[in-house]
Protein backbone atom coordinates (compact mmCIF):
# COMPACT_ATOMS: atom_id res chain seq x y z
CA UNK A 1 0.00 0.00 0.00
CA UNK A 2 1.26 3.52 -0.80
CA UNK A 3 1.42 5.61 2.35
CA UNK A 4 1.67 9.36 2.73
CA UNK A 5 5.25 8.85 3.95
CA UNK A 6 6.31 7.32 0.65
CA UNK A 7 5.04 10.37 -1.19
CA UNK A 8 6.79 12.66 1.29
CA UNK A 9 10.01 10.76 0.66
CA UNK A 10 9.67 11.27 -3.11
CA UNK A 11 8.95 14.97 -2.60
CA UNK A 12 12.04 15.27 -0.41
CA UNK A 13 14.12 13.46 -3.03
CA UNK A 14 12.68 15.65 -5.80
CA UNK A 15 13.30 18.94 -3.99
CA UNK A 16 16.71 17.78 -2.71
CA UNK A 17 18.00 16.69 -6.14
CA UNK A 18 16.71 19.89 -7.75
CA UNK A 19 18.16 22.29 -5.19
CA UNK A 20 21.55 20.50 -5.20
CA UNK A 21 21.51 20.35 -9.03
CA UNK A 22 20.70 24.06 -9.30
CA UNK A 23 23.43 25.06 -6.82
CA UNK A 24 25.94 22.83 -8.60
CA UNK A 25 25.18 24.49 -11.95
CA UNK A 26 25.43 27.95 -10.36
CA UNK A 27 28.88 27.08 -8.97
CA UNK A 28 30.01 25.61 -12.30
CA UNK A 29 28.86 28.66 -14.27
CA UNK A 30 30.40 31.00 -11.68
CA UNK A 31 33.75 29.28 -12.23
CA UNK A 32 33.43 29.96 -15.99
CA UNK A 33 32.51 33.60 -15.30
CA UNK A 34 34.81 34.58 -12.47
CA UNK A 35 37.56 31.97 -12.09
CA UNK A 36 38.88 31.78 -15.63
CA UNK A 37 42.39 32.78 -14.49
CA UNK A 38 42.63 29.70 -12.28
CA UNK A 39 43.99 26.56 -13.91
CA UNK A 40 41.17 24.43 -12.45
CA UNK A 41 38.18 26.42 -13.76
CA UNK A 42 37.43 24.14 -16.71
CA UNK A 43 37.63 20.85 -14.82
CA UNK A 44 35.42 22.30 -12.12
CA UNK A 45 32.95 23.80 -14.64
CA UNK A 46 32.64 20.52 -16.50
CA UNK A 47 32.29 18.39 -13.35
CA UNK A 48 29.73 20.71 -11.77
CA UNK A 49 27.78 20.87 -15.06
CA UNK A 50 27.63 17.08 -15.37
CA UNK A 51 26.77 16.59 -11.71
CA UNK A 52 24.09 19.32 -11.79
CA UNK A 53 22.45 17.89 -14.92
CA UNK A 54 22.42 14.35 -13.47
CA UNK A 55 20.82 15.67 -10.28
CA UNK A 56 18.10 17.46 -12.28
CA UNK A 57 17.38 14.30 -14.30
CA UNK A 58 17.18 12.27 -11.07
CA UNK A 59 14.84 14.95 -9.68
CA UNK A 60 12.58 14.63 -12.73
CA UNK A 61 12.41 10.84 -12.23
CA UNK A 62 11.48 11.42 -8.56
CA UNK A 63 8.74 13.94 -9.48
CA UNK A 64 7.21 11.77 -12.21
CA UNK A 65 7.23 8.79 -9.80
CA UNK A 66 5.70 10.91 -7.05
CA UNK A 67 2.82 12.05 -9.23
CA UNK A 68 2.31 8.54 -10.69
CA UNK A 69 2.18 6.99 -7.19
CA UNK A 70 -0.32 9.57 -6.00
CA UNK A 71 -2.43 8.93 -9.13
CA UNK A 72 -2.12 12.66 -9.89
CA UNK A 73 -2.10 14.28 -13.30
CA UNK A 74 1.25 14.84 -15.04
CA UNK A 75 2.08 18.18 -16.62
CA UNK A 76 -0.88 20.02 -15.19
CA UNK A 77 0.48 23.23 -13.63
CA UNK A 78 3.06 25.90 -14.56
CA UNK A 79 5.78 24.38 -12.34
CA UNK A 80 5.58 21.08 -14.24
CA UNK A 81 6.21 22.82 -17.58
CA UNK A 82 8.90 25.14 -16.22
CA UNK A 83 10.57 22.06 -14.72
CA UNK A 84 10.41 20.07 -17.93
CA UNK A 85 11.86 22.96 -19.97
CA UNK A 86 14.64 23.37 -17.36
CA UNK A 87 15.63 19.71 -17.66
CA UNK A 88 15.53 19.87 -21.48
CA UNK A 89 17.66 23.04 -21.78
CA UNK A 90 20.02 21.65 -19.12
CA UNK A 91 20.66 18.54 -21.24
CA UNK A 92 21.06 20.69 -24.40
CA UNK A 93 23.57 22.95 -22.62
CA UNK A 94 25.57 19.95 -21.46
CA UNK A 95 25.61 18.49 -24.99
CA UNK A 96 26.62 21.84 -26.51
CA UNK A 97 29.42 22.06 -23.92
CA UNK A 98 30.74 18.69 -25.10
CA UNK A 99 30.07 19.10 -28.84
CA UNK A 100 32.05 22.37 -29.10
CA UNK A 101 35.21 20.26 -28.74
CA UNK A 102 34.12 17.66 -31.28
CA UNK A 103 33.00 19.88 -34.18
CA UNK A 104 36.13 21.98 -34.55
CA UNK A 105 35.07 24.16 -37.51
CA UNK A 106 31.88 25.29 -35.66
CA UNK A 107 33.50 25.59 -32.23
CA UNK A 108 33.14 29.38 -31.86
CA UNK A 109 29.47 29.36 -32.83
CA UNK A 110 28.60 26.38 -30.60
CA UNK A 111 30.53 27.96 -27.71
CA UNK A 112 28.51 31.14 -28.03
CA UNK A 113 25.20 29.19 -28.09
CA UNK A 114 26.43 27.18 -25.08
CA UNK A 115 27.08 30.38 -23.14
CA UNK A 116 23.56 31.67 -23.77
CA UNK A 117 21.83 28.33 -23.23
CA UNK A 118 23.83 28.01 -19.99
CA UNK A 119 22.55 31.36 -18.75
CA UNK A 120 19.00 30.45 -19.83
CA UNK A 121 19.29 27.10 -17.99
CA UNK A 122 20.26 28.89 -14.78
CA UNK A 123 17.34 31.31 -15.13
CA UNK A 124 14.84 28.50 -15.76
CA UNK A 125 16.23 26.42 -12.87
CA UNK A 126 15.87 29.43 -10.57
CA UNK A 127 12.21 29.87 -11.61
CA UNK A 128 11.63 26.09 -11.27
CA UNK A 129 13.04 26.00 -7.73
CA UNK A 130 11.03 29.12 -6.80
CA UNK A 131 7.76 27.84 -8.27
CA UNK A 132 8.36 24.41 -6.66
CA UNK A 133 8.88 25.97 -3.23
CA UNK A 134 5.70 28.04 -3.69
CA UNK A 135 3.70 24.79 -4.12
CA UNK A 136 4.70 23.45 -0.72
CA UNK A 137 5.02 26.66 1.33
C1 LIG B 1 24.46 22.02 -17.88
C2 LIG B 1 25.71 22.26 -17.53
C3 LIG B 1 26.42 23.55 -17.92
C4 LIG B 1 26.03 24.84 -17.72
C5 LIG B 1 24.75 25.35 -17.02
C6 LIG B 1 27.04 25.69 -18.33
C7 LIG B 1 27.01 27.08 -18.36
C8 LIG B 1 27.97 27.89 -18.90
C9 LIG B 1 27.93 29.32 -18.91
C10 LIG B 1 26.81 30.19 -18.31
C11 LIG B 1 29.04 29.76 -19.53
C12 LIG B 1 29.39 31.22 -19.84
C13 LIG B 1 30.16 31.88 -18.75
C14 LIG B 1 30.44 33.32 -19.13
O15 LIG B 1 29.53 34.13 -19.10
O16 LIG B 1 31.59 33.61 -19.47
C17 LIG B 1 29.82 28.58 -19.93
C18 LIG B 1 31.03 28.61 -20.58
C19 LIG B 1 31.72 27.50 -21.00
N20 LIG B 1 31.35 26.17 -20.84
FE21 LIG B 1 29.72 25.52 -19.89
N22 LIG B 1 28.02 24.88 -18.88
C23 LIG B 1 27.69 23.57 -18.64
C24 LIG B 1 28.41 22.45 -19.03
C25 LIG B 1 29.58 22.46 -19.76
C26 LIG B 1 30.32 21.28 -20.20
C27 LIG B 1 29.90 19.84 -19.89
C28 LIG B 1 31.42 21.73 -20.90
C29 LIG B 1 32.50 20.98 -21.58
C30 LIG B 1 32.57 19.70 -21.76
C31 LIG B 1 31.38 23.17 -20.90
C32 LIG B 1 32.30 24.00 -21.49
C33 LIG B 1 32.32 25.37 -21.44
C34 LIG B 1 33.36 26.22 -22.00
C35 LIG B 1 34.60 25.77 -22.76
C36 LIG B 1 32.99 27.54 -21.72
C37 LIG B 1 33.76 28.80 -22.08
C38 LIG B 1 33.23 29.40 -23.33
C39 LIG B 1 33.97 30.66 -23.62
O40 LIG B 1 35.08 30.59 -24.12
O41 LIG B 1 33.47 31.74 -23.29
N42 LIG B 1 30.25 23.58 -20.19
N43 LIG B 1 29.13 27.47 -19.54
C1 LIG C 1 15.30 22.76 -10.99
C2 LIG C 1 14.24 22.65 -10.18
C3 LIG C 1 13.00 21.81 -10.44
C4 LIG C 1 12.60 21.14 -11.57
C5 LIG C 1 13.35 21.04 -12.91
C6 LIG C 1 11.32 20.51 -11.26
C7 LIG C 1 10.58 19.73 -12.14
C8 LIG C 1 9.34 19.18 -11.87
C9 LIG C 1 8.53 18.44 -12.84
C10 LIG C 1 8.94 18.15 -14.29
C11 LIG C 1 7.38 18.08 -12.21
C12 LIG C 1 6.19 17.37 -12.85
C13 LIG C 1 6.35 15.89 -13.09
C14 LIG C 1 5.13 15.31 -13.76
O15 LIG C 1 4.21 16.05 -14.17
O16 LIG C 1 5.07 14.06 -13.87
C17 LIG C 1 7.45 18.56 -10.83
C18 LIG C 1 6.50 18.39 -9.87
C19 LIG C 1 6.56 18.88 -8.57
N20 LIG C 1 7.59 19.62 -8.03
FE21 LIG C 1 9.28 20.22 -8.98
N22 LIG C 1 11.00 20.79 -9.94
C23 LIG C 1 11.99 21.58 -9.41
C24 LIG C 1 12.07 22.04 -8.11
C25 LIG C 1 11.14 21.81 -7.13
C26 LIG C 1 11.26 22.26 -5.75
C27 LIG C 1 12.46 23.01 -5.16
C28 LIG C 1 10.14 21.87 -5.11
C29 LIG C 1 9.80 22.14 -3.68
C30 LIG C 1 9.70 21.35 -2.79
C31 LIG C 1 9.29 21.16 -6.07
C32 LIG C 1 8.04 20.61 -5.80
C33 LIG C 1 7.27 19.91 -6.69
C34 LIG C 1 5.97 19.34 -6.38
C35 LIG C 1 5.24 19.45 -5.02
C36 LIG C 1 5.52 18.70 -7.55
C37 LIG C 1 4.21 17.92 -7.73
C38 LIG C 1 3.09 18.89 -7.90
C39 LIG C 1 1.79 18.14 -8.07
O40 LIG C 1 1.49 17.28 -7.25
O41 LIG C 1 1.10 18.42 -9.04
N42 LIG C 1 9.95 21.15 -7.30
N43 LIG C 1 8.65 19.23 -10.67
Grade residue 2 by pLDDT with cuts at 50, 70 and 90.
Answer: low
Question: What is the C-alpha to C-alpha distance for residues 97 and 31, in angstroms, rounded to an integer?
Answer: 14
Ligand 2 site-directed mutation target among 63, 87, 88, 137, most atoms within 8 Å of CB: 63
Taking residues 20-30, report their average pLDDT: 98
The span from the CA of 58 to the CA of 70, in Å, is 18
Among 49, 92, 110, 123, name the best residue to mutate to test ligand 1's pocket (greatest count of ligand atoms within 8 A of Cβ).
49
Backbone phi and psi for residue 102, each to the nearest 5 degrees, phi listed first: -95, -40
For the chain, give the percent of residues with pLDDT over 90: 96
pLDDT digits (tens, 9 = 90+) for 78-119: 999 999 999 999 999 999 999 999 999 999 999 999 999 999
- Cα distance from N-terminal residue to C-terminal residue, the chain: 27
The CATH T-level fold of domain 4-136 is 1.20.120
Taking 70 as the threshold, does the pLDDT of residue 8 lie above it? yes
- The answer to whether the CB of 64 is under 6 A from ligand 2 is yes
Residue 63 CA to residue 79 CA, distance in Å, equals 11
- Measured in Å, residue 49 CA sits from the centre of ligand 2 at 20
DSSP type of residue 104 = G
Give residue limits of the domains in the chain. 4-136
User: What is the average pLDDT value for the chain, to the nearest integer?
Assistant: 96
pTM: 0.93
Amino acid sequence: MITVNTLDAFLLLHAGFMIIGFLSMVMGASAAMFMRRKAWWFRFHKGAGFFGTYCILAGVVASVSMIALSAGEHFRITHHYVGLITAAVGVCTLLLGIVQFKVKDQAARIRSIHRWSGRFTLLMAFVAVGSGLLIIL
